[in-house]
Structure 1
């Protein structure tokens, strides 16, 4: 049919992909050359008019594609240019910082509701999961399975099916995302694991049936997880 060859396929690239493509185009145009240091995260966010989490996720995409490298104690640098033209940046799923932001908005309120409705058996199971997390933390290739079960159990304890499904959806997004999975493997190798102490504080607040403490404990936990993950870019 006339003109059909002029149409382009519609894509659903996420914002971090568009930012990563723009940064890569600057490398290909030799605005940044091999060994050059990228501007700081805050400066990039302000210049591009996006959030710092979006910049982080663009950097994750560039790093796992081999376009940039993060040097300990120094910053983010352009890697060997020979590899750049052959690399394809694609939508690799929802990024870890987007997921953490959504969890921060959602899970503390769910935790507060769970504090009012949780059963003794569920509290016992939470404490058992913390013990399993302590074992997982010592494994070189820990799956963080117990961590996920811990959060899903709290959502279940809220006795709200919509909340439970929302938390399940977020964890499914995390587990199915190439971007999130790749980044989590990197920071685990750097020694970043789910905080056992944070989980104990959450379980304690729930055991006391204290909604206010439960909300704050969950907020602090997700905030700490975000800060620890972001340290990857500040090494």
Structure 2
């Protein structure tokens, strides 16, 4: 069964389905290493982030196994997990891009319209995030409160459910698996610094600065997840080179 070109507008789920069919047909044998992410992206006619999302979805489903330092392998058959992000739902990188577009403007609007009392829950979320990081605790709930607080500070009631929906839908099992692989204490500290910069722009009523700080934050999250995946692929290449010299 040859690889078919995937139309650009399709999502990671269609890529995952095609790779799954190739595994089931024996095109990719159990225990074998999958082609490189770059090769898959070229053959499928899609972006590398879309391939990353598809591979993580397949890992969750038990179709492939991500071995840090070794690569991505076709897994032995086992019960298939139900993936809540299946179907037409956008993947994490699409959510990040949507948030970049929308939340940058929302932060700018909040900087213009926020009252002193609107900043208190945002400030409290930043303080709590710092305290949780110091105790090596999870910060997701206060991170969410921070972003929702900014939406509330716009005094536009239509924006709050938009941010809430983007946040909640973007935190599916594929995002969680990405965090499992790539999130580190250093990245949590960087997130805290990002949030503090956004808060400072809001406190200064700096609309342009708030927009820039929010977009820099979301750019960094996207970049760090991509860098983590690239590091995994680099480890794979080094491991393969080591084995070839033996």
Q: CA–CA distance in 1 between the matches of 2:124 and 2:84?
A: 37
Equivalent positions of 1:204-215 (< 5 A) are 204-215=200-211
Indicate if the aligned counterparts of 1:53 and 1:98 stay in contact, CA closer than 8 A. Answer: no
Partner of 1:15: 11
Aligned length: 218
Partner of 1:82: 77
Q: CA deviation at 1:66?
A: 2.1
Partner of 2:85: 92
Partner of 1:51: 47
Q: Give the 3-state SS of the residue equivalent to 1:161 in structure 2.
A: coil
Indicate if the aligned counterparts of 1:35 and 1:78 stay in contact, CA closer than 8 A. Answer: yes
Alignment equivalent of 2:109, drawn from 110, 113, 131: 113
TM-score by length of 1: 0.80
Q: CA deviation at 1:209?
A: 1.1
Q: Is 2:126 the counterpart of 1:130?
A: yes
Q: 1:201 to 1:190 in 2, by over 3 A?
A: closer
Q: Is 2:174 the counterpart of 1:179?
A: yes
Q: CA–CA distance in 1 between the matches of 2:209 and 2:184?
A: 32
Partner of 2:192: 196
Q: CA–CA distance in 2 between the matches of 1:136 and 1:227?
A: 24
Q: 1:174 to 1:217 in 2, by over 3 A?
A: same
Q: Is 2:155 the counterpart of 1:159?
A: yes
Q: CA–CA distance in 1 between the matches of 2:46 and 2:156?
A: 34
Q: CA–CA distance in 2 between the matches of 1:208 and 1:65?
A: 47
| 1:94-129 Cα deviation digits (max 9, x unpaired) | 432221121011100111111111122233332221
Q: 1:197 to 1:153 in 2, by over 3 A?
A: same
Q: CA–CA distance in 2 between the matches of 1:188 and 1:32?
A: 30
What value does the CA root-mean-square deviation take over the aligned residues? 2.6
Partner of 1:32: 28
TM-score by length of 2: 0.76
Compare 105-114 and 185-194 and name the one that shifted more.
185-194
The gaps in structure 1 that reach 5 residues or longer are 1-13
Q: 1:139 to 1:181 in 2, by over 3 A?
A: farther
Q: CA–CA distance in 2 between the matches of 1:140 and 1:161?
A: 34
